[in-house]
Amino acid sequence: MARAEAIIDLAAIDSNVRSLLSRTKAIGLAVVKADAYGHGLVPVARCALSAGAKWLGTALLEEAVALRQAGVAAPTIAWLTPPSDDFEQALRSQIDLAIPSLDHLAAVLAAAERSGVTPRLHLEVDTGMSRGGALSQWRALCEQAAELARAGKIEVIGIWSHLARADEPEHEFNAFQLSEFESAVELARSVGLTPKIIHLGNSAAALTKPNFHFDMIRLGISMYGLSPDPQRVGQSDELGLKPAMSLRARLHLVKEVPANSQVGYGGTARTERATKLGVVAMGYADGIPRSANNLAGVLVGNKRAPIIGRVSMDQFVVDLGNDSVARAGDWVHLIGPSGSDGYTADSWARACGTINYEIVTRIGPRVPRTYLD
């Protein structure tokens, strides 16, 4: 019997994808990197495609290869692929590749010559994030790609970039990036490139900026029912999104302790009164942030029990209250379930000084996933 479990509501993901695509004329790319943000790579990919997404996106090549090995044949792009990656495998697996530099282009071209497969490429331009994409090399990259495309050695499927502040919809940097992107696309076309798909928008842009949609929008955190920024973009329910993950664990132990008992490593917390403590069978080895404070906790029945003391590797302690009837072996909910008054990925994020993305993606492989259709 499991000591912890992440329950993934595929119907919620289906609903989110359909809702997001109903707001745009662009096609949808479902971002399933990082094990689909902790929700499960293959089940989520299949669900998103069934709901209307046409493309899949991964960061790592091995994630895209895993999709192919599972029989998922939809168009898929991998965009974090160092020149040392096995591009021959990518080409044989019909995986599209992002090209952020001349070195990457050369590496893929060499793999194409060895494999005899024509690469399908998406040229990535840096529009101001100073992370991925070509900047000073952009013209040279476009000119060389155009020459190779005319020779039939590559196929340029797309041109794309990534937004740095789309979760701040009113920030002027968004307009700057849009202008830089449009100029980059114009330059690419001026040297003879004819990309089929222009893509820039992420979840935040999909929700707030229709003019950023172009031909395809990349659905990331929103597909999982979470807001890109609850304060500046809106809460999930306000956006019509349904969180897909709930998380529960067993109580390993329930015990009575007197007032002024120190709790956990370092004695960072003490009980204010005589109370009952519950030891929850999850810890930072399972993805529960060690930095979590008493703004996070678990739902026991219909009552919240906040964290007390530091999170340990395999367990953490909650204050159940002196009147609790909880017993060892009971399930308690760390996230959800949906519709309850329990803690959410957003409340855990606030308790840890991070974002909801990190909360769900860091839930580790020791925690089995259970899928609801």
Q: Provide the annotated active-site residues.
A: 33, 265
CA distances to 48, 57, 219, 272, 348 from 12, rounded to whole Å, are 10, 20, 14, 40, 20
Nearest-10 Cα torsion for 64, 66, 67, 73: 90
